């Protein structure tokens, strides 16, 4: 609990100092302060810079000493050689936690590693917690708090842990554009103190977090990681893109985030045991997390495709079988019912091809209602053309049915975006292609299967 309490100073501070607050728009101390203001943080922000009176409309303080107390969090973005004195001042000021953006530590080799050890010692001695060094910060839209970039405004329920600011960025951009949002975000950087185990534990207890999504280059403490992840997985899914699988990738990870990439087959086995869904690309990390965030857990791996496009349905079934999911068969009784209700040119089987009956959203919804007792678990609806009130109809049936509903919408960028936002708002995740949808469903089914076996 002590652990959890002190991490709250990082994600839910009441007062934050930005040390190295800069007027130079290319400096991190400027970018982070700008986004902290833009996120409309309700607590106190103190800009620390001894050589100017004002930064981004805020009066500055010459040092941490001058900042009003109590101080929860200091974000430090000054050159490495100044970090130690700032940390000492923070300790003296009773500051609870640090985010050290500054690089120049373990990622720089042996001398840097020694410097980092000393830094960690001082931070620990003072009873503080530290994110970084060499990191891009943290963010918590639920507290309007962003000590990073970009600013995600949508309050979501995916919490994101990364070793790379850019991997964090790409996922946050997608989350914002799709109206999915995030719960919390942390770039671990060199993870000298706070690491993925701390965060998985913390997010496991965080009421705003439903899914924990990680883009990691290494696992610091394998045994502890598996213990904590196995426990958290029992209530919340963890999805991990673990990079550094290749020789070149592993060598790069060693310097980039001081991560030991580890033996890949051992990691895969450990992940499987701990209920972690391992993914291969950033898009898959996002898609699987989105599915797990929006959908209830299916009771099995059996899929029904309802479509107005035969071509896309064939791609969906190919992906389904290729991923080891099962394309469910409809019973003769339900086939007869559907044939009576649908126009004669509809093709009644799996995929259920509504052809031109697709312009009526109720036909999709009805088809799900009629098949309620059929032996499938997940239905993928493939939509094209403008379909009036499709989100309304799908949202309604999603609430009534025991089936899990996911969707693909293909109709050009504008309509795709607006319909996606509407469908997302009623809890139906939309994916850009059937191939990607089926991978997301696979991740969902994989976690559901682990949960059935472990609770």
> Residues in the site for a second copy, rule: CB under 8 A?
26, 103-104, 108, 150, 162-167, 169-170, 173, 177, 215, 217, 241, 243-249, 251-253, 255-257, 280-283, 308-315, 317-318, 320-322, 327, 345, 347, 349-351, 353, 359, 384, 410-413, 432-433, 435-436
* Least CB distance to a second copy at residue 191 (A): 13
Q: Which is nearer to a second copy, 84 or 359 (CB)?
A: 359
* Least CB distance to a second copy at residue 174 (A): 9
Q: Which is nearer to a second copy, 103 or 395 (CB)?
A: 103
* Least CB distance to a second copy at residue 253 (A): 5
* Least CB distance to a second copy at residue 357 (A): 12
β 44-48/15-19 pair status: parallel
22-28 CB contacts, 8 Å cutoff, 24+ apart: 22/49, 22/55, 22/77, 23/52, 23/55, 23/56, 27/77, 28/77, 28/101
Q: What are 256's two structure tokens? A: 């980039």
Q: Which is nearer to a second copy, 322 or 425 (CB)?
A: 322
* Least CB distance to a second copy at residue 189 (A): 11
Q: Which is nearer to a second copy, 91 or 410 (CB)?
A: 410
* Least CB distance to a second copy at residue 318 (A): 4
3-state secondary structure the chain: CHHHHHHHHHHCCCEEEEECCCCCCCCHHHHHHHHHHHCCCCCEEEEECCCCCEECCEEEECCHHHCCCCCCEEEECCCHHHHHHHHHHHHHCCCCEEEECCCCCHHHCHHHHHHHHHHHHHHHHCCCEEECCCCCCEEEHHHCEEECCCCCCCEEEEEEEECCHHHHHHHHHHHHHCCCCEEEEEECCCCCCCCHHHHHHHHHHCCCCCEEEEEECCCCCHHHHHHHHHHHHCCCCEEEEECCCCHHHHHHHHHHCCCCCCCHHHHHHHHHHCCCEEECCHHHHHHHHHHHHHCCCCCCCEEEEEECCHHHHHHHHHHHHHCCCEECCCCHHHHHHHHHHCCCCCECCCCEECHHHHHCHHHHHHHHHHCCCCCCCEEEEEEECCCCCHHHHHHHHHHHCCCEEEEEEECCHHHHHHHHHHHHHCCCCEECCHHHHHHHHHHHHHHHHHHHHHC
Q: Which is nearer to a second copy, 96 or 242 (CB)?
A: 242
* Least CB distance to a second copy at residue 432 (A): 8
* Least CB distance to a second copy at residue 281 (A): 4
Q: Which is nearer to a second copy, 71 or 152 (CB)?
A: 152
* Least CB distance to a second copy at residue 104 (A): 8
* Least CB distance to a second copy at residue 108 (A): 7
Q: Which is nearer to a second copy, 208 or 256 (CB)?
A: 256
Q: Which is nearer to a second copy, 9 or 305 (CB)?
A: 305
Q: Which is nearer to a second copy, 249 or 427 (CB)?
A: 249
Q: Which is nearer to a second copy, 64 or 146 (CB)?
A: 146
């Amino acid at each position: 609990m002590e652990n959890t309490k002190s991490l709250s100073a990082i994600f839910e501070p009441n007062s934050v100092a930005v040390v190295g607050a800069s007027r130079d728009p290319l400096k991190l101390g400027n970018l982070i302060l700008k986004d902290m203001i833009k996120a409309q943080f309700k607590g106190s922000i103190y800009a620390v810079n001894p050589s100017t009176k004002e930064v981004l409309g805020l009066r500055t303080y010459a040092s941490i000493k001058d900042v009003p107390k109590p101080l929860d969090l200091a974000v430090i973005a000054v050159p490495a050689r100044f970090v130690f004195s700032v940390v000492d001042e923070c300790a003296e000021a009773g500051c609870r936690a640090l985010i050290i953006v500054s690089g120049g530590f373990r990622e720089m080799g042996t001398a840097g590693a020694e410097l980092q050890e000393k830094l960690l010692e001082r931070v620990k001695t003072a009873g503080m917690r530290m994110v970084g060094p060499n990191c891009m910060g943290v963010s918590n839209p639920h507290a309007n708090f962003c000590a990073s970039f970009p600013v995600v405004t949508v309050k979501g329920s995916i919490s994101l842990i990364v070793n790379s600011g850019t991997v964090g960025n790409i996922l946050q951009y997608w989350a914002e554009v799709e109206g999915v949002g995030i719960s919390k975000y942390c770039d671990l950087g060199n993870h000298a103190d706070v690491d993925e185990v701390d965060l998985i534990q913390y997010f496991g207890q965080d009421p705003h977090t439903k899914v924990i999504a990680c883009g990691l280059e290494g696992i610091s403490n394998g045994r502890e990681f598996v213990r904590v992840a196995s426990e958290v997985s029992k209530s919340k899914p963890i999805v991990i893109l673990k990079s550094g699988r290749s020789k070149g990738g592993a060598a790069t990870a060693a310097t980039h985030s001081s991560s030991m990439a580890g033996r890949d087959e051992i990691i895969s086995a450990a992940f499987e045991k701990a209920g972690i869904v391992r993914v291969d690309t950033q898009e898959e990390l996002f898609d699987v997390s989105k599915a797990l965030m929006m959908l209830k857990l299916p009771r099995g791996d059996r899929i029904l495709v309802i479509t107005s496009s035969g071509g896309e349905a064939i791609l969906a079934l190919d992906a389904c079988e290729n991923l080891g999911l099962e394309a469910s068969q409809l019973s003769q009784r339900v086939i007869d019912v559907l044939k009576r209700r649908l126009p004669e040119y509809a093709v009644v089987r799996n995929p259920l091809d509504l052809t031109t009956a697709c312009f009526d959203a109720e036909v999709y919804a009805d088809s799900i209602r009629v098949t309620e007792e059929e032996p499938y678990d997940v239905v993928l609806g493939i939509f094209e053309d403008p379909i009036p009130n499709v989100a309304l109809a799908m949202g309604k049936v999603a609430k009534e049915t025991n089936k899990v509903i996911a969707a693909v919408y293909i109709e050009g960028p504008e309509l795709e975006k607006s319909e996606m936002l509407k469908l997302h708002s009623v809890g139906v995740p939309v994916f850009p292609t059937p191939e990607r949808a089926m991978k997301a469903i696979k991740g969902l089914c994989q976690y559901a299967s682990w949960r059935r076996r472990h609770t």
